[in-house]
Amino acid sequence: MAGDKKVYEKAIRTGLNFAWEGKWDQAADAYKQALAEMPDDPIVHSHLGLAYLELGRYESALRTYIQASRLAPDDPAALARIAEIHERLDQSHSAAGAYFSVSEVYRRQRSWTQAIQALQKAVQLDPNHMPARLSLAEIYAELDQPQRAIKEYLNLARVLQRQGQMEKALEQCRLALELDPRNLEARALGEALQSGEAVTIAEPPAPLSEEGASPVDMARDKALEELAGIPFEDAAVDEAADITTLEPEAVEGVVPAKPSLSRPQIDALIAQAIDFQTRGLLDEAIACYTKVIDAGVDRPAAHFNLGLLYQQRLRLEHAISEFDQSVRHTPYALGSHFALGECYKALGRVDDALEHFVQVLKIVDLGTVQREQADDLIQLYDALADSYIAKGDRAKALEFTNSLVEFLSSKGWEDKAREARHRIDSLADVGVTMSLAEVLAAPKADTILSSVTLSQEYVKRGALTAATEVCYQAIESAPTYLPLHLRLAEIFVEDGRVEDAVSKYQAVAELYLVREEPRLATGVYKRMLRLTPLDVVARSRLIDLLISSGEIDQALEQYLALADAYYQLAQVDKALEKYNEAMRLVMRSSDETAWQMRLLRKMGDIQMRRADWRAAIAIYRRIATLAPDDERARLHLIDLSYKLGGDKEADKVVKAMLQDFRVQDQDERALALLQEAVRLYPQQMALRARMARAYIDVGMREEAIAELDMLGELQLDAGLREQAMATVRLIISLGPKNVDAYQHLLSQI
């Protein structure tokens, strides 16, 4: 049972003060005093555990943290301390177990990074901790990181192999192969386990290409690795071998031709094709790959390599045909699009080349952005090729494709793409995504990105003049690259040159519109309006852009801001006009009723402030119709009815509201509404009468008597003797404590 709360709280404060001063003995004593009052508080147990830990009393600390963990099983902090203590005591196995428990908590919370870190620590302390390795593999598989998952499954298989648990080890190999059926390491280890051989499986050979090779080189290496693994795949090896796993998918109504080669012959042909290709014997390799595909090995890897060989032999139409087969498969999409772009470019078909090069950049760029940016980026790239084609600027299209080929053929292009994305995002407005294509399409892209980084560094140091000079120099080299102008505007803002910044933003927005890039113009107007929120012209243009792009909810938000700007500028009629314009747009919004309510409330507030009661009451009637439960609107209706001098009308409103609440069995809400109405209009006898009746209905006798007492006084003051007598009789019927006084009052009346 809980003890004295004040003693408990004082002890906690005392303990924390001692802990802050490093007086751990006194802190521990204070925490023990707190626990004497509240023994089931896990936080105090954790405080006490830390005190013991700082004092070097590890066994006591361990017991205390174990108790804290029992009391708060979903808190990983105590478990982490338990693991730390076991480490200090050189109890590696126990520490690993504690870290595994930490990971389980994080896993339930879907905090994957923390779960993985805890599991890695567990495996580091105890390489044979099988639950930790299995959990790591499962998490990696769930996070769609198959290669890491495979590595953990194979590590677990080796642990089980050393323990003599061959069946369980083999099961881990099967799990790894489910993620990647062509994984040579998993297949070889599985075969070794099945045969009972005690072998050490070597790591797979390194790729043929250097790091940073072009997408084509990377895809070629993957294709060679995949094809080299085919002989290891499960299949019968007799003369009538079943190689259905290597055949194309069946097409309805078409009977696939039976391969004329046996499995050993196909394996030999594949090995020969790879050998010829790596030795540069193009014609011989083409002949082998053609036979392999004709025999039923309809793999994207085989088509991709054959396409490369045709491309090297300048048999471009044949190459395109093969790449069209491989481009549909994700592992080869990037390399195939790049190769198709090169083939079409060599044939002079610039538009076709451009479409494939844009797809290359789209795939690369999507790999560098946050998930929330992906949809915007996809739309950008889908429109990019069409934009070049529509403009019919062949020279510009060639310039773009040349920039792309140069970039993706440079050493370390993947790291460059990530770095470029980081810098681009620093240029882009919050909520506006820019594409890597916008940088590569600009001349001297490296200069641009370097200038951006340098100017940002100068701004951080407060060297705004230097930052401005760097931006001007970059603009001289690439005057048409508008993000640089936006960067300059931001420096102006930092320097307090708001008018210069606004002028620059205005110019950039207009240029984006001339270029038919309304999405980017929208982002610029948003930036500008942060500086000049009362610029009604700019906000009106932004609204038009949002409506034309179908962003109706955003347009409505801007309408609210525009109307508010007009109101602040004392143009009240203009504000109401904008609210009415927005009302005509709500039917295209995501939630028509919600938007109507927001707009009507704004309009109602304005009419109330300008004391236009009739306009206001019409608005609040609309609100009450849309949302019968809106008590604020109901109160406004009562208030406005009284303001317009219609006591009877107001009473009708109150009566209708009370009836609604009664139907819904919501007496408490009815009371709350009446109490607020009486507070606003204490002299209204009809309200007092209804308030008293409501109290009587819910059994609040004393409150009802008090309300009737006030009502009686109002009636007497108004000369309504008959009504006052009726009120006093009702009070007497309720049995008040001073009933004699009320009877005397009745006789006097």
Amino acid at 2: A
Cα gap 334→314, rounded to integer Å: 21
Q: For residue 579, give the H/E element and its range.
A: helix 572-583
- Mean pLDDT for the chain? 78
Please give the Cα distance from 574 to 566 (Å, whole number).
6
Highest mean pLDDT among 82-86, 215-219, 636-640: 82-86
| Residue 193 reports pLDDT greater than 70 | yes
Distance CA 363, CA 505 (A): 31
- The distance of Cα 28 from the centroid of its chain, to the nearest Å, equals 44
Tokens 């959990």, residue located: 135
CB atoms inside a 10 Å sphere around CB 738: 11
Burial-class residue 237 by CB neighbours within 10 Å (0-12, 13-18, 19+): exposed
Residue 305: Cβ within 10 Å count: 27
What are the C-alpha distances in Å from 702 to residues 690, 698, 699, 731?
A: 15, 11, 9, 10
**Pairwise CA distance, residues 112 & 109, whole Å:** 8
Q: How far is CA 8 from the centre of its chain?
A: 42
Residue closest to 306 by CA, chosen among 377, 407, 220:
220
Is residue 746 very low, low, confident or very high in pLDDT (cuts 50, 70, 90)? confident
The 10s digit of each residue's pLDDT in 252-308 is 444 444 456 777 788 788 888 887 887 778 888 898 889 888 888 888 988 998 998
Lowest mean pLDDT segment, chosen from 178-192, 292-306, 493-507, 556-570: 178-192
Beta carbons of 177 and 161 less than 8 angstroms apart: no
Q: Residues 414-465: pLDDT tens digits?
A: 666 666 666 666 655 544 566 666 666 666 666 676 677 677 777 777 888 8
Whether the pLDDT of residue 578 is over 80: the answer is yes
pLDDT of residue 202: 37
Helix ranges, 430-477 (H): 436-440, 445-461, 464-477
How far apart (Å, rounded) are the C-alpha atoms in residues 600 and 462? 47
**CB-based contact 354:389 (threshold 8 Å):** yes
Structural domains for the chain: 5-195 (1.25.40.10)
Q: What is the pLDDT of residue 372?
A: 54
CA distances from 384 to 330, 550, 696 (A): 22, 19, 73
The SS3 assignment for 9 reads helix
Q: Residue 250 region, left (φ>0) first, then alpha (ψ -120 to 50), else beta? A: beta
Report the interhelical angle of 282-294 vs 300-312 (nearest 10°): 150
Q: Take residue 227 and report the two structure tokens written for it.
A: 């094809």
Tally the C-alpha atoms within 13 A of residue 68's C-alpha that lie toward its C-beta: 24
Q: Which amino acid is at 749?
A: I
Q: Mean of the pLDDT values across residues 370-379?
A: 58
pTM for the full predicted model: 0.49
pLDDT tens-digit map of 612-669: 888 887 888 888 778 777 777 777 777 777 777 666 666 676 776 777 777 677 767 7
More confident call, 89 vs 408: 89
Residues 60 and 82: their CA atoms lie apart, in Å, by: 11
pLDDT given at position 303: 92
Give the pLDDT band of residue 483 (cuts 50, 70, 90): confident
Specify whether the CB–CB gap between 367 and 408 falls below 8 A: no
Which is more confidently placed, 657 or 521?
Answer: 521
495-503 mean pLDDT: 88
The 10s digit of each residue's pLDDT in 691-737 is 778 788 778 888 878 878 787 788 778 788 888 788 878 888 888 88
Q: Residue 311 — very low, low, confident or very high, per pLDDT cuts 50/70/90?
A: confident
Is 259:299 a contact under the CB 8 Å cutoff? no
The token pair at 734 is: 């309720």
Dihedral angle of Cα 138, 143, 146, 148, to the nearest 10 degrees: -70
User: Which of 162-176, 237-251, 471-485, 678-692 is modeled with the greatest confidence?
Assistant: 162-176
In this prediction, residue 595 has a pLDDT band, given cuts at 50, 70 and 90, of very high
Report the distance separating Cα 440 and Cα 414, nearest Å: 14
Looking at residue 199, its pLDDT comes to: 44
Amino acid at 92: S
C-alpha–C-alpha distance, residues 392 and 156, integer Å? 59
Query: 411 versus 271: which is more confidently predicted?
Result: 271
Which ranges constitute the DSSP H helices of 313-444? Answer: 316-326, 330-346, 350-366, 374-391, 394-408, 413-427, 436-440
Q: Under DSSP, is residue 572 helix (H, G, I), strand (E, B) or coil?
A: helix
